[in-house]
Structure 1
């Protein structure tokens, strides 16, 4: 997808809201537009699907110039997800997801199958959520349905305008992980607007840091922006702790996820006790009937457990998915007394654990890499200074 000299000038205002934006978004990548409030990032996004008509410039998707296409037809070819989901309250979950497929003439059976496929894809059980209304869903569930609706007609391009901005931080982390997982499966071309630089680092393949009127201050990979911000404006977005922000660039799936002794809550008590007594660990992880992490049970809890498992053990407070970042995992471990965090699948089922030692080893590697890079940069600066001094001296002698 290409934006060519894209400009928006509102009547009565001599200064463009968006001024001459040129950007190429490669097929299958996530590009994040990040910048201060009022810089024009949402206006730029909405010009792509012509919710806001450009004053001038061109928009190309694939080999097609869509600038002069019927805007209604264009929007049916582009997925669109916004903050607070934008679901129609009088329609069920299934009706919301089926909206665009019906508009473009899909058959009833194809649409019905697609609705079930989309619900499963975003981790919602079709049997449970098919007939619910938006008011019967949590904020996170509404956002998942919003993403499912945006993807329902299988558009090549997905636009997302601060889609996770209206939910709590924990739900937001999980929704970000869900988007990353979906992108691994679907390989869509995604343009995503946010004001949160940490979110940009976590999700984006490339980040466009925008000044006023959507002027591009830097357009590069998260790694490049973190290690080599182009100027003070970009440095201000990166903020302090760039090395720790790089924890958002490594996923849990990239480090050592290991198995851990488990038992199901509905296993016979005696078998749970035997496993706990005989294991090499002094604790095990109790799973609920759906194999979701439920409680950490330690040997010291055995006396209480003999009376009732409900009274024994420590409830699992946090879990992470394989697509969570090391930063997410580290925060979860630090707030959980177990010193480790459970890793879960699409529907919350147990996969394994990541412990503090593994995370700290990775943090040390990142910090060491940053240290070596800083030393190399200092060495290059000294060499440049030495060459400059030599040239100046030669010039004086001449």
Structure 2
């Protein structure tokens, strides 16, 4: 694989950015100013039609601003050639937007080819990026988009957006068209990629839980992209600016904070495992030595395949082909505790397998660990509420004391 020489992110400054369409009395985006740090992931979230996608598309001038300025790493890009700008800004959209007549490799290599890269350099870059997004280059290089699942198409779409190593990546609801389980895994993959690449990511979503999970900061936008609050996920959850922002936070803020903690932050335990190639007697012996009632079978590539209980083995009659329960849900180390809790509850067995970047087994997170984390969050919220109540009481006492004193500081008669 080619050596990863990826560049980091770039600062983005939006200054009084406005978009007016002919015939509309009010602007679609009105006077938006914002500073985004290099390597930061910023999420635009807001109601449908509030202008978040329009604001995003003005950054790479897919939509031309009516007025205002856009600076990337201090360079004013408002007046430069938009084609040159777009080669410096990656762009990923819902349903991937891949060209159906091109192979995976041709889709990913399109922008580098336009930029004049050599064939050898493009080939190395395609291989590097497929590996980076968790797709085997040998297996996927020559496939066409119709031969891919929705999740695989989105991974290729992200790889294509990163192909020319841009410092900025714009993402417009990129995971909105896939099923919830695939969406969770794609979110985890993006978090892992960002840890490696440190790009500046601006991401549009209507899903506040997705915003909490992915964002370093979240911009909650009202109509015409007016900023209601621009802050960290934790600050917005614990101290929403007004009722509009509170409406996005919704009920259960403490549980939503499970989206701020990753599986890698809690204890991942070992679990007895066997492989599909192990003889039946060896599997019996392994289970007996483990002291547990269950064992995890891995496939030929080390990925979770089946949960096997003692009773399954007793009924196996020489073959495990129909024995056990297939593993449906797994989580990665980048998954949130909320993802893990949902997987555990869906499986109804008190644990979920944790996997690496290629789906290989790395351990297990159990219900006890997750519930301890929930209790810690609830207790922290209870203590915060008590402290807030004490502050209100002290403020009232101070106000009462001030009112009892005269304007000159003396007590009233």
Range class of TM-score, shorter chain: over 0.9
Q: How does 1:75-90 map to 2 (within 5 A)?
A: 75-90=86-101
The match for 1:205 is 216
The match for 2:246 is 235
Q: CA deviation at 1:337?
A: 3.5
- Per-residue Cα deviation, 1:258-316 (whole angstroms, up to 9, x for no partner): 11110001111111111011212121100000111011111222222233111211111
Asked if residue 71 in structure 1 is aligned to residue 79 in structure 2, the reply is no
Asked if residue 97 in structure 1 is aligned to residue 108 in structure 2, the reply is yes
Distance 2:268 2:402 in 1: 55
Unaligned runs of 5+ in 1: none
The match for 1:309 is 320
The match for 2:371 is 360
The DSSP-based 3-state class of the residue aligned with 1:202 is helix
Q: Is the 8 A contact 2:313 2:320 kept in 1?
A: no
Unaligned runs of 5+ in 2: 1-11
Q: Is the 8 A contact 1:304 1:311 kept in 2?
A: no
- Equivalent position to 2:37, from 23, 26, 38: 26
Q: CA deviation at 1:377?
A: 0.9
Asked if residue 286 in structure 1 is aligned to residue 297 in structure 2, the reply is yes
The DSSP-based 3-state class of the residue aligned with 1:346 is coil
Q: CA deviation at 1:326?
A: 0.2
The DSSP-based 3-state class of the residue aligned with 2:270 is coil
Q: Is the 8 A contact 1:93 1:129 kept in 2?
A: yes
Q: How does 1:98-177 map to 2 (within 5 A)?
A: 98-177=109-188
- Equivalent position to 1:215, from 226, 229, 243: 226
- Per-residue Cα deviation, 1:45-87 (whole angstroms, up to 9, x for no partner): 0000000001111111112111111000000100000001010
Distance 2:406 2:93 in 1: 61
Distance 1:306 1:353 in 2: 29
Would you say how many aligned residue pairs link Structure 1 and Structure 2? 398
Normalising by structure 1, we get a TM-score of 0.99
Asked if residue 318 in structure 1 is aligned to residue 304 in structure 2, the reply is no
Q: CA deviation at 1:99?
A: 0.4
Distance 1:324 1:240 in 2: 22
Distance 2:406 2:174 in 1: 59
Q: CA deviation at 1:395?
A: 3.0
The match for 2:338 is 327
Asked if residue 389 in structure 1 is aligned to residue 405 in structure 2, the reply is no
- Per-residue Cα deviation, 1:125-155 (whole angstroms, up to 9, x for no partner): 1111111111111111100000000001100
Q: CA deviation at 1:10?
A: 1.1
The match for 1:179 is 190
Asked if residue 196 in structure 1 is aligned to residue 207 in structure 2, the reply is yes
- Per-residue Cα deviation, 1:361-393 (whole angstroms, up to 9, x for no partner): 111111111111111111111111111111111
- Equivalent position to 1:340, from 351, 359, 364: 351
Distance 2:95 2:168 in 1: 20
The match for 2:3 is none
